[in-house]
Structure 1
């Protein structure tokens, strides 16, 4: 038994040093080399600071709507709802989101609604929507802001982020950045 205790204590001490001291300090040091020193992608607008890499709630007709969040956009506890596509409660929730979207966006067929506008992301904090999700909202936003729809679509094109290295992932749009640009465009 004594032959096993000493190696176990040494291994425990080594793991504590590596995993609780060396690794966190290494990650912190690497983060200091990033643009915001590991503090995330911060945006200041109207004297408020937002994290551009964490989803925000937008529900007004004059803004692009965000992807839904199962955790109410609480970054302290990200996660999905864990309800499958056959769960009745989940299906009712998705149908309510579809009904709300159709009511606020007349003239759009149910089959045209992108899935990311009526389902929550896996983390509950997704800051992006698909290009299709942005384009389908352009008419509503143009009407509520008394703007030309072409200006809204041009703004969507300007804020579309291409896939990583041109091939990894889909095109996407950061909703917070797009809505801030929309406010700036409306203010001009």
Structure 2
């Protein structure tokens, strides 16, 4: 009987510590030190949340930057890749379809100039970032649609650019939502300024 009571006490104490106290402590630290990140890195536009800096969103507007293709149709509750191997015909078919879509949206771009992140989905299917080359190619289309000078769009990309860690790990990139938000602000200033 003593062993049973000891086991019950042990279970209750650890349920309290690990099930209530520890999560409360972590939540308190997160909300105190990193409130923006702890609440999902949400971005607002004109007082309304429009997305998270951490999750890509589908974009059909030709006047905005497009994210990488998504194997899960940008469904955050279904994150994942297709897991097709490099010799799988389904991967070839998917990349070819994405390549045709990129060429249709951005006419005149030679196939050799199209970066991989424009035609291949990320491992999560929700990567919010694109390469500088990807963003640069899209400036031709966006300049044509919005009538913003391409040089201004390139400057916008440079302002939003994130560099690789210590110049060693990763590659330079831009966050699509942050870049589109900067573009929307620029357009709003142009129309109201």
TM-score, normalization by structure 1: 0.85
CA contact 2:57–2:74 (8 Å) conserved in 1? yes
Is 1:184 paired with 2:167?
Answer: no
Q: Which residue of 2 aligns with 1:60?
A: 61
Residue by residue over 1:92-115, the C-alpha shift from the partner in whole angstroms, topping out at 9 and shown as x without a partner, is: 111011011112212211111111
Is 1:105 paired with 2:109?
Answer: no
**Number of equivalenced pairs:** 187
Point out where structure 2 has 5 or more consecutive residues left out of the alignment. Answer: none
TM-score, normalization by structure 2: 0.83
Q: Secondary structure, in 3 states, of the residue corresponding to 2:29?
A: helix
Q: Secondary structure, in 3 states, of the residue corresponding to 2:27?
A: helix
Residue by residue over 1:103-139, the C-alpha shift from the partner in whole angstroms, topping out at 9 and shown as x without a partner, is: 2212211111111111111112111101111011111
Q: Which residue of 1 aligns with 2:87?
A: 86
CA drift at 1:76: 2.2
Is 1:24 paired with 2:10?
Answer: no
Which deviates further from its counterpart, 115-124 or 160-169?
160-169
Give RMSD over aligned pairs: 2.6
Q: Classify 1:8/1:185 alpha carbon distance in 2 versus 1 (closer, same or farther; 3 Å).
A: same
CA drift at 1:27: 2.6
Q: Which structure is higher in helix share?
A: 2
Point out where structure 1 has 5 or more consecutive residues left out of the alignment. Answer: none
Is 1:44 paired with 2:44?
Answer: yes
